[in-house]
């Protein structure tokens, strides 16, 4: 990062997508801490439609990685988390609220992973119908459950410097 930034924001600027992991297992307590952080996210009308499947089986992670074109690292990560939404629990039954709520939970999970010394990578599933269908089948999901993403997790085997992609060209004052 070329510009100085407030040290209090270093957790945010230091969080990067990590795609290479050490083979060290991630303790269950740490996974639970990540899920607690994810579920501390804001949610429209506090409906909390997020649901999670912890992916410890390498076979399952590899199957999912096989249907995510940019998700090969999931098969090599010590653990993964599938982030899903329950449409019947979403505010007004609206897919848009479900996606916003799950995205907030994912960001909390990613920041918590970084804070705990883990590396993580957000792998998109929704809105790709082929990916949604594949995860629905692999994870045997009920009809009201919508796959949103998967997160690959582990101790980082790569280091990346802090950064932001801030651009003043993307910011407008008062109106466009």
- What are the residue ranges in the chain where pLDDT is below 50? 1
For residues 160 and 3, what is the distance between their CA atoms, to the nearest angstrom?
A: 16
| Predicted pLDDT at 6 | 85
For residues 104 and 116, what is the distance between their CA atoms, to the nearest angstrom?
A: 18
| Predicted pLDDT at 1 | 47
For residues 50 and 74, what is the distance between their CA atoms, to the nearest angstrom?
A: 20
Q: Read off φ and ψ for residue 31, nearest 5 degrees.
A: -60, -45
- In the chain, the domains with their CATH numbers are 17-157 (3.40.109.10)
Beta bridge partners of residue 123, listed in sequence order: 150
| Predicted pLDDT at 27 | 98
For residues 36 and 20, what is the distance between their CA atoms, to the nearest angstrom?
A: 24
Q: How many residues does the chain have?
A: 176
CA dihedral 70→18→149→75, nearest 10 degrees, is: 60
| Predicted pLDDT at 17 | 98
User: Whose structure tokens read 């910011």?
Assistant: 171
Q: What is the pTM (predicted TM-score) of this model?
A: 0.95
| Predicted pLDDT at 2 | 55
């Amino acid at each position: 990062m070329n510009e100085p930034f407030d040290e209090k924001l270093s957790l945010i600027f230091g969080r990067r997508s990590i795609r290479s992991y050490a083979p060290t297992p991630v303790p269950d307590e740490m996974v639970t801490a990540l899920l607690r952080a994810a579920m501390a996210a804001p949610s429209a009308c506090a409906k909390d439609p997020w649901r999670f499947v912890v992916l410890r089986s390498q076979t399952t992670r590899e199957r999912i990685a096989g249907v995510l074109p940019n998700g090969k690292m999931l098969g090599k990560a010590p653990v993964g988390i599938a982030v899903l939404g329950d449409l019947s629990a979403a505010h007004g039954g609206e897919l848009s609220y479900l996606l916003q709520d799950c995205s907030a939970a994912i960001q909390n999970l990613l920041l918590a992973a970084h804070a705990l010394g883990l590396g993580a990578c957000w792998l998109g599933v929704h809105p790709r119908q082929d990916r949604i269908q594949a995860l629905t089948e692999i994870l045997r999901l009920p009809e009201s459950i919508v796959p949103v993403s998967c997160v690959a997790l582990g101790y980082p085997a790569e280091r990346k410097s802090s950064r932001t992609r801030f651009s003043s060209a993307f910011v407008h004052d008062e109106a466009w």
